[in-house]
Amino acid sequence: MRTIPDITDTEQWLMRTTLRERYGREIEMQFADAEIRLAPSDRELKICPTIYWQADDGCHFVIFKTGESSYRCQFFYQPYKQMGTGVRQYDNLAECAVALLQAQADFVVQQGNA
């Protein structure tokens, strides 16, 4: 039984707009469901609506909707090395998306200076 609401048209519009601003063009997003633990102590996985996209440099981005106005995010180049923003949960999708994009941009800069 799903208790987490699906990604709304407004949330899709917000993400399309945010990604267009970031990349200067339309970015293909995919919508799916992911099973995640909402709390580390949870034994059962919860099905969460998910937004996914991939950047030209091969970076994968995922935003999980974990409740009404509740989001988590991560990015990765390799599935076994996932990175995030340092914030466990966001209550604003725009803030979540911008923080995720900024964290990835900061990561790229750090890798170039390493």
Strands 46-54, 30-36: pairing is: antiparallel
Query: What is the residue whose two structure tokens read 């990765």?
Result: 76
Q: What is the pTM of this model?
A: 0.93
Q: How confident is the model at residue 2 (pLDDT cuts 50, 70, 90)?
A: low
- What is the pLDDT, as a whole number, of residue 79? 85
In this predicted model, what pLDDT tens digit does every residue of 67-97 receive, in sequence order?
999 999 999 999 889 999 999 999 999 999 9
CA distance 75 to 97: 11
pLDDT of 114 over the 60 cut: no
What lies within 8 Å, CB to CB, of 51 at 6+ separation is 7, 11, 15, 29, 30, 31, 62, 63, 65
